């Protein structure tokens, strides 16, 4: 029988009353918390990361080096457990596949141990992709020279077969070098060299041109690639053809939980101060990895900035004229390539002059710039 509209609802049971009180308490606490957060947000809206008292990077790195590593035994046991895969990895390299290692932790020690214990019969060229810059041409030259040395015995056995390229390789183009690496020197499938790339997704190798060159190297008949990745979006560097045809990856999940101590040297610590000393040190490391001509172009800009401190910067046309006079560049295109490299490493920045033209300047104090030039010289 349905209750009439004027009848009162039956009283709630003790259990139902407790549930209602608890739900009301949760709701009330939620809205109180929101009110407190809103009120405190207005008071602390001006707080920034820059307000934190940061320490010198050298002090911070020294303190970090004193921190004892946890779970050493477990990490060591994990690294040793991967040794059972070494024969399988070698077999897959012989079959023409490439090896791609991913997972949390640095894979540098693991890959170098694999190379030093299992790839002793082959030439191994190492690329440190975590460095600020990598010269692909020098890598290809080193690979060609290594393969040339390996094939000496084969050439003695078959004196009639001659390679199109003769040493020295440094004067050859990348196209000729790749043709040499892909040339069938012998029918022996084991006549190959290994390219070991630490962090193929590193900052210096993330551009499309570098990945295309590496993919072309990987598909050469006498080259095998072993590499590691750490960035979550690293697979986006390659298309379907590069993955399945050129690199021909075999993917392996090998978390090591090892520290990225070596790979992180060139990355500034978030809690470290950007003092002039550390900034100069970082700029020096980057400049030393560039070509002598690029360093000289930077010196021209630095000398102009020191001699004209009151100006907003050096016009690009002025820099081009001075570099032409010193025979540092032959065209505007060459200068632009140097400037692009400077800007990518934040060594040089651009700002608009009062007359409307773009000017270049080095974001360093005069004292730091003088010290940088002295150490670079």
Q: Which of 254, 248, 281, 244 is nearest to 266 (CA)?
A: 281
Residues of the chain with pLDDT under 50: 41-50, 160-165
Tens digits of residue pLDDT in 355-366: 778 899 998 888
Q: Is residue 1 part of a domain?
A: no
User: 109 lies in which domain range?
Assistant: 72-253
Stated as kind and residue range, the H or E segment containing 359 is: strand 358-361
- On whether both 162 and 241 belong to a single domain, the answer is yes
* Same structural domain, 92 and 190: yes
- pLDDT score recorded for residue 225: 96
Give residue 281's pLDDT. Answer: 72
pLDDT given at position 156: 56
Cα→Cα distances 194→76, 146, 304, Å:
26, 10, 46
Q: What is the pLDDT of residue 284?
A: 82
Q: Are residues 206 and 317 in the same domain?
A: no
Do 109 and 217 lie in one domain? The reply is: yes
Q: Cβ(254)–Cβ(107) under 8 Å? A: yes
Instruction: For residue 168, say if its preceding peptide bond is cis, omega within 30 degrees of 0.
Output: yes
Instruction: Look up the CATH number of the domain holding residue 339.
Output: 1.10.10.10
Same domain, 214 and 138: yes
Judge if 239 and 119 occupy the same domain. yes
Answer whether 174's CB lies under 8 Å from 136's CB. yes
Overall number of domains in the chain: 2
pLDDT of residue 340: 87
Q: Is 2 a member of any domain?
A: no
pLDDT at 271 (0 to 100): 54
Give the β-pairing of 98-102 and 55-56. unpaired
Quick one: which of 340, 363, 334 has its CA closest to 351? 363
pLDDT computed for residue 42 by the predictor: 46
């Amino acid at each position: 029988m349905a209750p009439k509209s004027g009848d009162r609802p039956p009283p709630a049971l003790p259990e139902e009353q407790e549930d209602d009180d608890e739900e009301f308490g949760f709701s009330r606490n939620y809205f109180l918390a929101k009110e407190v957060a809103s009120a405190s947000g207005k008071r602390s809206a001006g707080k920034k990361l820059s307000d934190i008292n940061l320490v010198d990077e050298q002090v911070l790195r020294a303190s970090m080096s004193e921190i004892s590593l946890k779970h050493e035994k477990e990490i060591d046991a994990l690294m040793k457990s991967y040794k059972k895969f070494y024969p399988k990895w070698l077999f897959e390299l012989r079959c023409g596949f490439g090896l791609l290692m991913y997972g949390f932790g640095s894979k540098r020690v693991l890959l170098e141990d694999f190379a030093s214990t299992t790839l002793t019969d082959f030439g191994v060229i190492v690329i440190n992709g975590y460095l600020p810059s990598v010269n692909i041409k020098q890598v290809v030259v080193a690979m060609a020279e290594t393969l040339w040395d390996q094939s000496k015995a084969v050439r003695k056995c078959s004196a009639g077969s001659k390679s199109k390229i003769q040493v020295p390789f440094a004067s050859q183009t990348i196209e000729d070098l790749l043709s040499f690496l892909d040339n069938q020197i012998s029918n022996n499938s084991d006549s190959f060299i290994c390219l070991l790339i630490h962090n193929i997704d590193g900052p210096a190798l993330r551009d499309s041109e570098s990945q295309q060159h590496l993919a072309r190297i990987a598909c050469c008949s006498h080259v095998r690639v072993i590499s590691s990745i750490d960035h979550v979006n690293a697979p986006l560097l390659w298309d379907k053809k590069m993955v399945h045809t050129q690199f021909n990856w075999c993917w392996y999940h090998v978390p090591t939980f090892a520290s990225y101590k070596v790979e992180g040297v060139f990355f500034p610590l978030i809690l470290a101060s950007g003092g002039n000393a550390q900034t100069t040190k970082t700029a020096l490391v980057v400049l030393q990895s560039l070509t002598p001509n690029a360093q000289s172009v930077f010196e021209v800009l630095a000398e102009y900035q020191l001699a004209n401190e009151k100006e907003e910067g050096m016009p690009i046309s002025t820099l081009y004229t001075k570099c032409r006079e010193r025979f540092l560049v032959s065209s505007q295109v060459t200068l632009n390539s140097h400037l692009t490299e400077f800007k990518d490493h934040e060594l040089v920045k651009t700002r608009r002059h009062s007359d409307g033209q773009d000017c270049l300047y080095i974001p360093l104090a005069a004292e730091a710039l003088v010290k940088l030039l002295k150490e670079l010289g």
